[in-house]
Chains A and B, each alone.
Chain A
Amino acid sequence: MSKAKTPARAVGKTRASAAGRARSAEILRVAAKMFFKHGYAGASIDAIVAEAGGSKRDIYSEFGGKEGLFAAIVRDNLNTALGTLAPAADESKSLQETLLEFGMGLAEVLSTPTGLNLYRIIVSEGTRFPALAKLFYDSGPGLVANKLAEVLEQRKRAKEIDVADCHAAADQFVGMIRGNLHLAVILRIRPAPRPDELQAFVSKAVSTLLHGIVSSRKA
């Protein structure tokens, strides 16, 4: 293994870095698998090296060790998971449509294997890695809630909605989307919902946020 790598390192810079990038990607892939499966304490650098190839020294020189490797897989997977997490506010759309878009974007991200794995590991390790916990929160659930709160503020100014605290309402909507259904999937009690199930689930959350549970009585 290490013999095959030495020439690549010695040769021209571009080839070396291409090989290096491939090796880093492989380390990240295997490390993610190990951390997600065994947790931070249970994952071993030796086991990662055994499967990904390379050497322990590669990991230390590139990632600085186990903590650095963990941080790298969290960042890497966060980038993969986020995507259309918070759509741009579009005032030409109805609030209902906008909420559906926000809700679906979030629900989809939460139900992907990467989203589920990240949530599990960050919740269990977050207090040990405050900087990563903050990165996760700020670029995921916190971001969605902030963008949504902006949308709600805008609609409040337009007198479409009547709500004391737009941030609290956004927080509660995010909570509904990341509700017991998500928790049951996180706990592996049920499989991730199908897209049509998600759609139905999200539209009911939107309807409750907009109209509450009493409305249809007098509507």
Chain B
Amino acid sequence: MQPARLRRSKMFDADPEGRQRVLQAAAKVFFEKGYEGASIDLIRAEVGGSRRTLYRAFGSKEGLFAAIVRASIEDALGCLTEEAQRHQSLDATLLNFGRGLMYALLTPTVLALYRIVVFEAARFPELAAMFYFSGPGHVAKRLARVLEQRQRLEEIGPVDCNIAADQFVSMIRGNLHLAIVLGLRPVPEDPDLEVFLAQAVGNFVEGISVKHRRLS
């Protein structure tokens, strides 16, 4: 059993496209059937392969849901590594992270998961907790560590970095996001998103009040 398991997990590691295909198929099934109606078998019917492979790679339906969430925020989190931040201003780091987060939130997959989990939390509390702590809670926590580091360098004032990180993540997930979740407007074009992101970073870093503007 052990060698087989190793071989299979290695196969998925070496095949990110295959993994991506499984996650996309899973998201489609979750969207069409709801969380309760979805099953590993239905997902397998979309992508083929063996039941055992899917179970080994993801553990369960819940594990697949978590894997989709985690995969979606990889790019955003990648902007927060020390290496990515090297020689980068706070504004640039926030802009890159915010962009990664915004694009993740606006993919059809994540929009679908968000709609599902918001309602299913009552019936599937573990799913809801897993979603929160692998997604929105996790990105905020990672951003908070970055803000603390910048605070030690005296780039930012004595704010509570956990709260500030929550605020920034939430600015990105504001009414624009809600209107898209509700199907009331399409995802804006990239240049419009860039403008929105730059404004969010500016308002978050410097505030809107005139007398507190940076003197640079």
Interface residues of A (CB under 8 A from B): 37, 39, 41, 95, 119-124, 126-127, 130, 133-134, 136-137, 141-142, 145, 152, 159-165, 168-181, 183-184, 186-189, 201, 204-205, 208-219
Contact = CB atoms under 8 A, between A and B. Distances in A.
A200 to B, nearest CB: 9
Contact of A180 (B156, B170, B200): B170
A15 to B, nearest CB: 40
Given A175-B171, A184-B137, A123 B208 contact: no
Contacts of A174: 174-175
Interface stretch (B12-20, B59-67, B159-167): B159-167
B178 A141 contact: yes
Contacts of B76: none
How would you classify the secondary structure of chain A's contact residues: helix, strand, loop or mixed? helix
A92 B170 CA distance: 30
B132 A214 contact: no
How would you classify the secondary structure of chain B's contact residues: helix, strand, loop or mixed? helix
A123 B115 contact: yes
Contacts of B160: 204
Given A137-B184, A171-B176, A217 B157 contact: yes
Interface of B: 34, 114-119, 121-122, 125, 128-129, 131-132, 136-137, 140, 147, 154-160, 163-164, 166-167, 169-179, 181-184, 195-196, 199-200, 202-210, 212-215
A160 B209 contact: yes
A204 B215 contact: no
A201 B147 CA distance: 19
A137 B154 contact: no
A142 B118 CA distance: 20
A169 B200 CA distance: 7
A55 B164 CA distance: 53
